[in-house]
Structure 1
Amino acid sequence: MEMAAPLYWLISSLWTLLAIASQFHTYHIPSAVSNHSSTAQFTSAASGLDAPKIHPVNSSAFDWWYFDVVASDPNSLASVVAIFYTTTANAFPFFPPSDSVTFVQITGTFENGTTFGTIVNADGATVRSDDNASSGDWHNSGFSWTHTRDSAYTIVIDAPDIGRICGPSIGWANAVPDAVATVQLTVGGADLAFEGLGYHDKNWSDQIFTANLKSWYWGHGRLGTYSIVWFDFLALDGAEYVSAYASEHGKIIAASCVPTSIQVRPTGANSTYPPVRSTGNPSGYHITLDLSEAGKLEMDVSVTGIAMDNVLSEYTRAVGNITGTVVAVGGHNNRHAEAVLEGKALFEQFKMTD
């Protein structure tokens, strides 16, 4: 339990709506790994929710800023994920050893499901936090992001054959659970342009990633008038922790880490739970999300394409479609009776044990 607690508070804090006004803070992050002890921030502070949470970055600490866009078209497999890392291969063991703790990974899929990806090292990084939002520059990598007062995040990729990703946010604070986003890229001479669902969050810890985790299911999507984010993971001791988010018409109606707030389970082929390294990718997931007085959102996610599974057998990222209904308290459908809600999602799983 002691090992899992920091990860629990990490997840819990992502769904805490801050009521404090932050000031400008600028952080300069060296590219070299530190030999000093690292301190992790797991509680809200005036520096803002999207500021760096680890100082300094030693061999057992990780921190990252995650951005993704998935096409809203149910027939398209297009997606882009950009992750700005400050970590070592020891703390987050899914990358080869490197002399730099500051690097960026971009991966994605074209409309037909063809994948692409690259990793670019940076000569250090600068992050500026402002009112629970942030801007970042991974020096000499060609990758940066900015946030403006009109709640728009823009990722700029100034590198050969790659263009620009941008998305005005309609989410909350800086952990953007849903956004209207556009993508314009040229990858290896092929254009990738689409509109879709945007998302941004960050994760961090001062403990090695594999020291806490047995498995997790995470994802976000939009179906009907609902925007949702799910997180359901197991600690090494078998304890299950969850985090649930739902909004309707841009209004938050659920944001909780209470154990009964959400449950995610694999379905169809390879639906063994808990999953292990030898378990293949499931055909889909069933998700039950508690909407309190409004009832429960019962959803089925079907995998339509694999966006990334070539790192290690422990990790898979996928895109898919969602169908669902709202079941009112007492078991009867609410105003969405007889109507099946439909939508799109991007999601992932980790399975860390045999």
Structure 2
Amino acid sequence: MPAYLADTPSAYRSLGLEKGVVKPSEDGLRTDPGGTTFEWWYFDTHLEDGTALVITFYTKPMLAPALPLTPMIRIDLERPDGTTIERRLTFSPDQFSASGDGCDVRIAANTFSGDLATYTIHVEDEGFTADVTLERTVPSWRPETGHMYFNDGRDTGEKLLGWVAPVPVGTVEATLTLDGVEETLRGIGYHDHNWGDAPLNQLIHNWRWGRAQVGPYSLVWCYITAEEQYGDDTIPLFLITKDGRIVADDAKSVTLSTGDRLTDDHTGKPVDKREVYEYSGPEGHYRLTLGLEQVLVRNNFIDDLEGPQREAAQAAGFDASYLRFTGSATVEQLVGEVITETHTASAIWELMYFGHAR
């Protein structure tokens, strides 16, 4: 297949990985940050008062791995009263360090470190500081080997996108200081780690990603559609945990259906008001249904560019967009066609479009 998730015994052996076991080194530096690669460590949390916080440490932009080491931090804070903070911080190469043995990433005075079980994150910028402790409550997880390969049949070789979720679900304590006012909040959090060796817009047409806590279930899902030169292949990733244990994660058992499609006015991208992920495997039959209620974020990447960069992107037909949604998530367990268990909660999920709408 032109695009696929490596899952064979030989793939595990060649990568030095063990099925179902994540080692601390898998959350360490996986690339040469000065080479033609990108890498990022991602964290998000939903806090008890309705605050949402996202923190990401980057070696460089995911769309520009040919750049030299360009350490970056992105901070997105959304408060229940509608207040938002968006910080895009860039640093010099000498302000970056990271360990290959485990997660210990430092960019100037900012840190992201942990041992799979417990993580601490510190970020600071003018007028804002966040100190976070994240405690894992379910096992660390990766989809099979976590290595997705893209091969267009040419002699350029396979391209890689790697993914591991050291903390699929965890408890969070976050101390936020904004303009001298400090408060400590608790909530539920998530951490994953990605790396690769080619611009994502050259590999992926779009992805759908989200996570949710629904009754006793925690879910993480991603549905990747490759670019046309990779056969429009799809790579589903899906994790279901219940009461702190993994109950299902076989990507081959997942199908996606959508409905009530509309076109987003700002980005021009198709958006589905309903997404249904059906999991039917040896572990059981589960259904996740997402019902879109509100678009939280609409962002055309080209709007973040200026001057010659923007002109070059326009000339190249660059059309990447990001959308974030909120709505209902319903999890059902079925036996045959009979629904034996159902739970509904609110959730946030995203749609990342690298390519033109089809």
> TM-score category by the smaller chain?
0.7 to 0.9
Question: More strand per residue: 1 or 2?
Answer: 2
Query: Alpha-carbon deviation of 1:257?
Result: 2.4
Q: 1:79, 1:307 within 8 Å by CA — same for their partners in 2?
A: no
Any idea what SS the aligned residue of 1:55 has? coil
CA distance in 1, matches of 2:321, 2:6: 22
Letter in 2 for 1:162: T
3-state SS in 1 of match to 2:201: helix
What is the aligned counterpart of 2:250 among 250, 256, 275?
A: 256
Partner of 2:275: 285
Counterpart for residue 69 of structure 1: 45
Of 59, 77, 80 in structure 2, the residue corresponding to residue 86 of structure 1 is: 59
Is the 1:232–1:264 contact (alpha carbons within 8 Å) kept by the matching residues of 2?
Answer: no
Q: Secondary structure at the match of 1:350?
A: strand
Amino acid of the structure 1 residue aligned with 2:98: V
Relative to structure 1, the CA distance from residue 328 to residue 292 in structure 2 (aligned partners, 3 Å threshold; closer, same or farther) is farther
Q: 1:143 to 1:268 in 2, by over 3 A?
A: farther
Whether 1:318 aligns to 2:324 is yes
**What count of residue pairs does the alignment treat as equivalent?**
302
Contact 2:214 2:331 in 1 (8 A): no
Give the 3-state SS of the residue equivalent to 2:80 in structure 1: coil
CA distance in 2, matches of 1:90, 1:321: 29
Q: CA RMSD in A?
A: 3.4
C-alpha separation in 1, matches of 2:328 and 2:48: 11
1:282-320 superposed Cα distances (whole Å, 9 cap, x missing partner) = 545333334644322232243445156364573335353
Q: Tell me if structure 1 keeps the 8 A contact 2:331–2:344.
A: no
Tell me the TM-score normalized by structure 1: 0.73
Equivalent residue in structure 2 for 1:152, among 94, 97, 118: 118
Are the aligned partners of 1:286 and 1:298 in contact in 2 as well (CA < 8 Å)?
Answer: yes
Displacement of 1:279 in angstroms is: 1.9
Q: 1:136 aligns with which of 105, 115, 118?
A: 105
CA 81–210 in structure 1, closer or farther in 2 if over 3 Å, else same? same
Q: For each residue in 1:258-296, what CA deviation from the matched residue of structure 2 results, as whole angstroms up to 9, or x when unmatched?
A: 1x324263x546279xxx952265545333334644322
Return the letter of the residue paired with 1:103: M
The answer to which of 306-315 and 155-164 deviates more is 306-315
**8 Å contact kept, 1:100–1:122:** no
Mapped pair 1:342 → 2:344:
yes
Secondary structure of the corresponding residue to residue 59 of structure 2:
strand
Is the 1:317–1:349 contact (alpha carbons within 8 Å) kept by the matching residues of 2? yes
1:117 aligned residue (86, 102, 105):
86
State the shift of 1:206 in Å: 0.8
Q: Structure 1 or 2: larger helix share?
A: 2
Aligned to 1:211: 202
Once the two structures are superposed, residues 325-352 of structure 1 have per-residue CA deviations (whole angstroms, 9 ceiling, x without a partner) of 4242311022x2xxx4123433221112
CA change 1:320–1:16 in 2 (3 A) is farther
Of 92, 115, 126, which residue of structure 1 is paired with 2:97? Answer: 126
Residue by residue over 1:166-208, the C-alpha shift from the partner in whole angstroms, topping out at 9 and shown as x without a partner, is: 2211132352111111332234567675432211111111111
Instruction: Tell me, yes or no, if the aligned pair for 1:293 and 1:329 is still in contact at 8 Å.
Output: no
- In structure 2, what is the equivalent of residue 270 of structure 1? 262
**Structure 1 pair 344/153, CA: closer, same or farther in 2 (3 Å)?**
farther
Q: Rate the CA distance shift 1:327–1:153 in 2: closer, same or farther, 3 A.
A: same
Output the amino acid matched with 1:343: A
* Aligned residues of 1:254 and 1:290 also touching (Cα < 8 A): no
Cα shift at 1:211: 1.0
Q: Secondary structure at the match of 2:27?
A: coil
**Percent of aligned positions with the same letter in both sequences?**
18
Residue 239 in 1 paired to residue 233 in 2?
yes
5+ residue gaps in structure 1?
23-47
Contact 2:320–2:354 (CA<8 Å) still a contact in 1? yes
Contact conserved, 2:323 with 2:352, CA < 8 A, in 1?
no
Tell me the distance in 2 between the aligned counterparts of 1:219 and 1:16.
26
Whole-angstrom distance in 2 between the partners of 1:190 and 1:51: 34
DSSP-derived class of the 1:328 partner: strand
- What is the CA distance between 1:71 and its match in structure 2? 3.3
For residues 210 and 330 of structure 1, the distance between their equivalents in structure 2, rounded to whole angstroms, comes to: 40
CA distance in 2 between partners of 1:20 and 1:114 (Å): 37
- In 2, distance between residues paired with 1:289 and 1:253? 11
Partner of 1:166: 133
1:57 corresponds in structure 2 to 34
Residue 70 of structure 2 corresponds to which residue in structure 1?
A: 101
CA–CA distance in structure 1, aligned partners of residues 183 and 347 of structure 2: 19
- In structure 2, what is the equivalent of residue 353 of structure 1? 355
CA contact (8 A) 1:305 1:320 kept: yes
Name the CA shift for 1:192/1:263 in 2 (closer, same or farther; >3 Å): farther
- Name the SS of the counterpart of 2:232 in structure 1: coil
Q: Measure how far apart 1:242 and its partner are.
A: 0.5
Amino acid at match of 1:126: S
Partner of 1:33: none
TM-score, scaled relative to structure 2: 0.72
